[in-house]
Amino acid sequence: MRFRKLRIAWSVVCGIACVLLIVLWIRSYSSTDGVVWQPTRSWFISSISLTGRICVITGSYENPSEIGSVPATNDPGLLGPDSWDFIRDPEFDLVLFPHWFPIALFTAFAAAPWLHWRFSLRTLLIATTLLALGLGLIAWSIR
């Protein structure tokens, strides 16, 4: 088995990230945590964990760099915990998704090195067709 130690290290790192995301998910129901990073003077990236969701905001106005936590609020105006949203505004872009999505991604990344990737041309064509259908459904639903 080539690269066995690398596979183990990759799986451990992805597993730790998955556990930390689960802890953040549980914590999101009692407090709202956020991180703001401002790489340039006129642009920032912010990530906020709130009530079962992660909100990523990028913007183009001055926002001080900070990390913070405040008690969670149950605002009825907020979307449900399994909601997905994308908002584009002249001053910022906002992406909202549930916590289970990155947890599922990191779980898949942790398992991927241990899967055997032997497949036929027929399997490749079926997978490509299914991917094209999925992307077509996404494009159709956006319109």
The answer to whether the pTM exceeds 0.85 is no
Looking at residue 77, its pLDDT comes to 46
Looking at residue 57, its pLDDT comes to 85
pLDDT digits (tens, 9 = 90+) for 1-22: 577 888 899 999 999 999 999 9
Looking at residue 32, its pLDDT comes to 83
Which string of DSSP letters, residue by residue, matches the chain?
A: -TTHHHHHHHHHHHHHHHHHHHHHHHHTTTEEEEEEEEEETTEEEEEEEETTEEEEEEESS----EEEEEE----TTSPPTT--EEEE-SSEEEEEEETHHHHHHHHHHHHGGGS-----HHHHHHHHHHHHHHHHHHHHHH-
Banded model confidence at residue 63, pLDDT cuts 50, 70, 90: low
pLDDT > 70? residue 23: yes
pLDDT digits (tens, 9 = 90+) for 80-98: 556 788 888 777 888 888 8
pLDDT digits (tens, 9 = 90+) for 42-61: 778 888 888 888 888 888 76
pLDDT > 90? residue 117: no
